[in-house]
Amino acid sequence: MDFSKYRDIAPYRGADVDAAIKRIMDKREYLGAFISVLAGGSDIQAIYGYLDAILKNISSVKSYTDFLTKITAGFFIPTVIQRTIKEFSVSGAEALDPEKGYLFISNHRDIILDCALLDYALLNNNRPLCEMAFGDNLIGSQFIEDLFRLNGGIIVKRALGMREKYQATLELSSYFVEVVTEENVCVWLAQRSGRSKDGLDITQPSIIKMLHMSQRPKGVPFTELVNRMNIVPVAISYEYDPNDINKGREEVLREHNNGEYEKKKYEDLISMARGMKEWKGRVHLSIGTPVKGDYATPEEVAREVDRQIHLGYRLWDTNYFAYDYLENTNRFSTRTADFDGDAFLSRFSHLSPGVRDFVLNSYANPVRSMLKETE
pLDDT tens-digit map of 255-278: 888 777 777 777 888 898 899 889
Within a domain: residue 191? yes
Task: Give the span between the Cα atoms of 312 and 209, in whole angstroms.
Answer: 24
pLDDT at site 38: 66
Task: Give the span between the Cα atoms of 107 and 233, in whole angstroms.
Answer: 8
Within a domain: residue 62? no
pLDDT at site 343: 97
Within a domain: residue 16? no
Q: In the predicted model, what is the mean pLDDT of residues 197-204?
A: 97
* DSSP three-state, residue 234: strand
Task: Tell me which H or E stretch contains 360.
Answer: helix 353-374
* 333 and 204 in a common domain: no
CATH of the domain at 128: 3.40.1130
User: What are the tens digits of pLDDT across the range 227-260?
Assistant: 999 999 999 999 999 999 999 999 999 888 877 7
Domain termination site, one of 287, 314, 341: 314
pLDDT at site 255: 86
Within a domain: residue 250? yes
* 240 and 103 in a common domain: yes
pLDDT class of 39 with cuts at 50, 70, 90: low
Number of structural domains (the chain) is 2
Q: Quick one: DSSP state of residue 68? A: I
Within a domain: residue 286? yes
pLDDT at site 198: 96
Q: What is the pTM of this model?
A: 0.94
pLDDT at site 139: 86
The candidate with the shortest Cα–Cα distance to 244, out of 326, 341, 348, 323, is 348
pLDDT above 70 coverage of the chain, percent: 98
**Where in the sequence is the domain holding 194, given as residue range(s)?**
84-314
Q: In the predicted model, what is the mean pLDDT of residues 173-186?
A: 97
* DSSP three-state, residue 215: coil
pLDDT at site 42: 58
Within a domain: residue 99? yes
* 358 and 308 in a common domain: no
Give the chain's mean pLDDT: 93
Within a domain: residue 56? no
* 284 and 333 in a common domain: no
- Residue 257's Cα: distance from chain center in Å? 27
Angle between helices 267-277 and 77-84 (to 10 degrees): 70
* 240 and 306 in a common domain: yes
Q: Decide if pLDDT at 356 tops 80.
A: yes
Q: Quick one: DSSP state of residue 74? A: I
* 130 and 99 in a common domain: yes
Name the region of 241 (left: φ>0; alpha: ψ -120 to 50; beta: rest): beta
Q: In the predicted model, what is the mean pLDDT of residues 127-139?
A: 92
Q: Quick one: DSSP state of residue 278? A: S
Position with higher pLDDT, 36 vs 171 = 171
Domain termination site, one of 314, 334, 366: 314
pLDDT at site 266: 74
* 286 and 347 in a common domain: no
Task: Give the span between the Cα atoms of 129 and 65, in whole angstroms.
Answer: 7
Within a domain: residue 50? no
* 339 and 255 in a common domain: no
Angle between helices 15-26 and 44-58 (to 10 degrees): 150
User: What are the tens digits of pLDDT across the range 307-345?
Assistant: 999 999 999 999 999 999 999 999 999 999 999 999 999
In this structure, of 35-39, 131-135, 300-304, the range with the lowest mean pLDDT score is 35-39
Domain termination site, one of 263, 289, 314: 314
Pairing of strands 186-190, 130-135: parallel
* 366 and 261 in a common domain: no
Pairing of strands 85-91, 103-106: unpaired
Find out whether 303 and 233 touch, Cβ atoms under 8 Å: no
* 265 and 153 in a common domain: yes
Q: Which long-range contacts (CB under 8 A, 24 or more apart) does 155-162 make?
A: 155/8, 155/9, 156/9, 157/9
The candidate with the shortest Cα–Cα distance to 152, out of 170, 177, 128, 169, is 128
Find out whether 238 and 283 touch, Cβ atoms under 8 Å: yes
* 160 and 191 in a common domain: yes
Q: Report the 10 Å Cβ neighbour count for 145.
A: 19
* 209 and 115 in a common domain: yes
Task: Give the span between the Cα atoms of 275 and 197, in whole angstroms.
Answer: 14
pLDDT class of 33 with cuts at 50, 70, 90: confident
* DSSP three-state, residue 49: helix
Please give the angle made by the CA atoms of 162, 168 and 169, to the nearest 5 degrees.
Answer: 90
Q: Quick one: DSSP state of residue 185? A: -
